[in-house]
Chains A and B, each alone.
Chain A
Amino acid sequence: MIPLLQRPLMLLTGLAFSLVLCLAAATPCLSADHTPDNAPATLPFADVAERARGTQVRWYMYGGWAHVNDWVDTYVAGEMKKRYNINLVRVPMDAGVFVNKLLNEKAAGKAVGNIDLLWINGENFKNAREAGLLFGPFADRLPNVEKFVDPASVSHDFGYPVDGYEAPYGRAQFVFEYDTAQAGTPPADLAALKAWIMENPGRFTYPQPPDFTGSAFIRQVLYAVTGGHDQYMAGWDPDLFAEKSPLLWKWLNDIEPYLWQKGRTYPKDSAFLDTLFSRGEVAFGMSYHPSHAQNKIIEGSYPDTARTFVLRDGSIFNTHFTAIPFNAPNKAGAMVLADFLISADAQLSKYQPDNWGDFPALDLERLPEKERERFRAVDLGPATLGSDVLGPLAVPEIPSAYLEALEQGWKAHVLDR
């Protein structure tokens, strides 16, 4: 007869060993490699949608914005379930990190991974394309893209040809944020901003490149101090860069002693800058999303008096996209999701400031009149500038080869100086 105490003990040790055995046994099952399914590249979309029914789609995207996560988890996941019986799993991961992950997997020969859809653009898209990490072309065959997207607006991403390897998702434009209760009128252009920074030491900073927002900020400054964006549109020109970038470094180094923490340290990412702005430690925030401030007001992190402004020198805009990795286990499902995201319903829902406020990537002129009205009727909230203000000042993004050069240059000439 085994005493009462030893019985749970035997259970404990038996459990421990069997758990380990189970793990060892399960590993081969978990890692069973299937051959990649590239058929969706050629099938008609109706068949693709049929294949995708009842499957699971794993979407890897930047997870730093709670309201966007919410919108994806509730509206998008709900609609995918309702319309296609697709189970959507959102996984938060920075774009640079998942590109790295795919690179590792490609080098390791992993034919079937675990990412179906990516939220990606710009430099990351270019790196992914050049390393052969993406599946496609698929975007041109999505019904909503064929019907409602202006091909000229999505032909290039940061100067790199898209070629149907990514589907449009939304539009972003760089804005600054300020608190009307603290600062009076915001500076009108970059020169005025520089003067303001020098008169108010310690009240301005920008996220450390290669953070997405920080990197965009230095591109803004580059355009403004080197005479505009047109000269860069032709493509990567190392001589041009060598000639013009010292102007940028000079501007950034000039303001450095007047920055928050005297420029000795920079916020490590845009979320951190948001916190500094919301707590009043700095006077200006910045974001690549025009509706960011309004979202934060709704969330309760920003004061109600926060507003956005743009500089007269122009504000960079870009389109952001979704793409499918080469080793996605469920390419059909990913295509269906990408198509849904560019549908009028999803774009309208995304445009609502209560959900996200991201500008639509559709060409509104191609929509039926009724749909167009619904977009026009959206109230973006007091903190978001409308496209009537943003449109005229929009300037295109720089070809992405300049990005890595700018980020490395910033580290060498501004941070480590």
Chain B
Amino acid sequence: MSLTVNPGSGKGARLLLGLSPLLVPYLVLFCGGVALTVCQSLGIATPLPHPGGLWDAYAGLISDPAFFASFGFSLWVAGASASLSVATGAFLAYRVWKLPRQLAPLSLVYKIPLILPHIAVAFLVLIFWSRSGIVASAAHSLGLIQGMHEFPNILYSGWGMGMILAYTLKGTPFAMLLALALLARFDVRQIQTAAMLGASGPRIFFAIVLPRLAPALHTGFIILFLYSFGAFDIPYILSESRPGMLSIHVYNLYFKHDLARRPEAMAILTLMFCFAVVFIVAYSRAVARLENGGRKL
């Protein structure tokens, strides 16, 4: 039994058979799960019998400005953190790649946030950036501020800075990983040639290196954006009350309120899912058009 499917008769059937260890769980658990979410949002198959109409939950959401505020806020946090991560990751990856061989092992410290779970990174952000945190203490000892309250309000300013910082701290090494993988195959002679022809450092980075890194960076952006958009762990520790992240709102609806509000929670999840799909397709198409069809994912 080798792991190849022989061409010829019954190829379709053998393909399906070969793919089945993955396709069966995929269909049952993933597609089934999504289907159940959609059904429960419509009031079908809910724990408690649903008294209202099919689209009640959606109607309620559309007419609720707090929902759109949360949605927009989630988009903002996701976009800002993903962009920051990818930009910082690309820059740092380039610098790390240029390190001489002896210093290269030291650069492995960048993997630390990769290993830490998201909740731990949120904890770090709390320790450092809260008003009673370490950066505030450092500012105080440098004489920059006289008391806790002069320290700028980073974590709870209404802009989700705490979450953005945490997602960026976790996402930058990830982007670095993707970029370094590409840089490993990069021909350094291109850079040497450009330098010989008089190009400056930044010019080299933006004109030569960055375009080559683009596929990895786009992949990274999609992954990081969607993760920050829908994840639960970091917002649960750092989220602000108003507007809150969508995932926390869903959590509260699912666990802390009447079961009768289940369709509402499921409706939000369905909308999040649709958004994720639309985003992937639209982003991939836009990038492919710009780069003539290189494979992104």
Q: Do chains A and B touch in the complex (CB under 8 A)?
A: yes
Chain A interface residues toward B at CB < 8 A: 94, 96-97, 100, 103-104, 107-108, 127, 202, 208, 210, 261, 264-266, 268, 279-281, 404, 415-416
| A349 to B153 alpha-carbon distance, docked (Å) | 44
| A189 to B156 alpha-carbon distance, docked (Å) | 30
| A100 partner residues in chain B, CB cutoff 8 A | 254-256, 259
| B132 partner residues in chain A, CB cutoff 8 A | 279-281
Any chain A CB within 8 A of the CB of B148? yes
Of A261, A279, A280, chain B has the most CB atoms within 10 Å of the CB of A261
Question: Could you list 6 examples of A-B contacts with CB < 8 Å?
Answer: A100-B255, A202-B149, A264-B242, A280-B132, A281-B131, A416-B242
| B239 partner residues in chain A, CB cutoff 8 A | 268
Given A107-B48, A261-B153, A281-B131; A266-B241 close (CB under 8 Å) = yes
| A94 to B256 alpha-carbon distance, docked (Å) | 9
What DSSP secondary structure best describes chain B's contact surface? loop
| A107 to B50 alpha-carbon distance, docked (Å) | 13
Chain B stretch 130-150: residues in CB contact (< 8 A) with chain A = 130-132, 148-149
What are the 9 closest A-B residue pairs judged by CB atoms, nearest first?
A: A107-B47, A279-B132, A265-B240, A265-B241, A261-B156, A265-B156, A96-B256, A266-B241, A97-B255
The proximity string for B residues 258-272 relative to A, scoring 1 for CB distances below 8 Å and 0 otherwise, is 110000000000000
Given A107-B48, A281-B148, A416-B66; A265-B242 close (CB under 8 Å) = yes
Contact of A103 among B47, B148, B256 (CB under 8 A): B47
Docked-complex contact A264 and B241, CB < 8 angstroms: yes
Interface size on B, residues (CB 8 A): 21
Docked-complex contact A264 and B131, CB < 8 angstroms: no
Known: A127-B258, A261-B156. 13 other contacts (CB 8 A): A103-B47, A103-B48, A210-B256, A264-B240, A264-B241, A265-B158, A265-B240, A265-B241, A268-B239, A268-B241, A279-B132, A281-B132, A281-B148
| A261 to B156 alpha-carbon distance, docked (Å) | 7
| Smallest CB separation, A128 vs chain B (Å) | 12
| B240 partner residues in chain A, CB cutoff 8 A | 264-265
| Smallest CB separation, B124 vs chain A (Å) | 15
Chain B stretch 253-289: residues in CB contact (< 8 A) with chain A = 254-256, 258-259
| A279 to B240 alpha-carbon distance, docked (Å) | 19
In the complex, what residue of chain B is closest to A98 when comparing beta carbons? Answer: B255
| A376 to B151 alpha-carbon distance, docked (Å) | 48
| A127 to B259 alpha-carbon distance, docked (Å) | 10
In the complex, what residue of chain A is closest to B66 when comparing beta carbons? Answer: A416
In the complex, what residue of chain B is closest to A260 when comparing beta carbons? Answer: B156
In the complex, what residue of chain B is closest to A131 when comparing beta carbons? Answer: B259
| A268 to B163 alpha-carbon distance, docked (Å) | 15
| A210 partner residues in chain B, CB cutoff 8 A | 256
Docked-complex contact A415 and B259, CB < 8 angstroms: no
The proximity string for B residues 62-101 relative to A, scoring 1 for CB distances below 8 Å and 0 otherwise, is 0000100000000000000000000000000000000000
| Smallest CB separation, B251 vs chain A (Å) | 10
| B241 partner residues in chain A, CB cutoff 8 A | 208, 264-266, 268, 415
Given A96-B256, A103-B259; A415-B242 close (CB under 8 Å) = yes
| A208 to B241 alpha-carbon distance, docked (Å) | 8
Docked-complex contact A280 and B254, CB < 8 angstroms: no
| A208 partner residues in chain B, CB cutoff 8 A | 241
In the complex, what residue of chain B is closest to A127 when comparing beta carbons? Answer: B258
In the complex, what residue of chain B is closest to A279 when comparing beta carbons? Answer: B132
| A232 to B107 alpha-carbon distance, docked (Å) | 65
| Smallest CB separation, A275 vs chain B (Å) | 9
| A127 partner residues in chain B, CB cutoff 8 A | 258
| A261 partner residues in chain B, CB cutoff 8 A | 153, 156
| Smallest CB separation, A60 vs chain B (Å) | 14
Contact of B47 among A96, A108, A202, A268 (CB under 8 A): A108
Of B131, B156, B239, B241, chain A has the most CB atoms within 10 Å of the CB of B241
| A97 to B236 alpha-carbon distance, docked (Å) | 15
Chain B stretch 210-256: residues in CB contact (< 8 A) with chain A = 236, 239-242, 254-256
| A208 to B258 alpha-carbon distance, docked (Å) | 18
| A127 to B156 alpha-carbon distance, docked (Å) | 34
| Smallest CB separation, B152 vs chain A (Å) | 12
| A103 to B259 alpha-carbon distance, docked (Å) | 8
| Smallest CB separation, B155 vs chain A (Å) | 9
| B149 partner residues in chain A, CB cutoff 8 A | 202
| Smallest CB separation, B169 vs chain A (Å) | 21
Docked-complex contact A280 and B242, CB < 8 angstroms: no
| Smallest CB separation, B47 vs chain A (Å) | 3
| A311 to B284 alpha-carbon distance, docked (Å) | 61
In the complex, what residue of chain B is closest to A211 when comparing beta carbons? Answer: B256
In the complex, what residue of chain B is closest to A267 when comparing beta carbons? Answer: B241
| A264 partner residues in chain B, CB cutoff 8 A | 156, 158, 240-242
| B48 partner residues in chain A, CB cutoff 8 A | 103, 107
| A296 to B255 alpha-carbon distance, docked (Å) | 28
| B255 partner residues in chain A, CB cutoff 8 A | 94, 96-97, 100
| A268 partner residues in chain B, CB cutoff 8 A | 236, 239, 241
| A268 to B238 alpha-carbon distance, docked (Å) | 9
| B130 partner residues in chain A, CB cutoff 8 A | 279, 281
In the complex, what residue of chain B is closest to A210 when comparing beta carbons? Answer: B256
| A94 to B153 alpha-carbon distance, docked (Å) | 30
| A202 partner residues in chain B, CB cutoff 8 A | 149
| A121 to B158 alpha-carbon distance, docked (Å) | 35
In the complex, what residue of chain A is closest to B133 when comparing beta carbons? Answer: A279
In the complex, what residue of chain A is closest to B240 when comparing beta carbons? Answer: A265
| Smallest CB separation, B236 vs chain A (Å) | 8
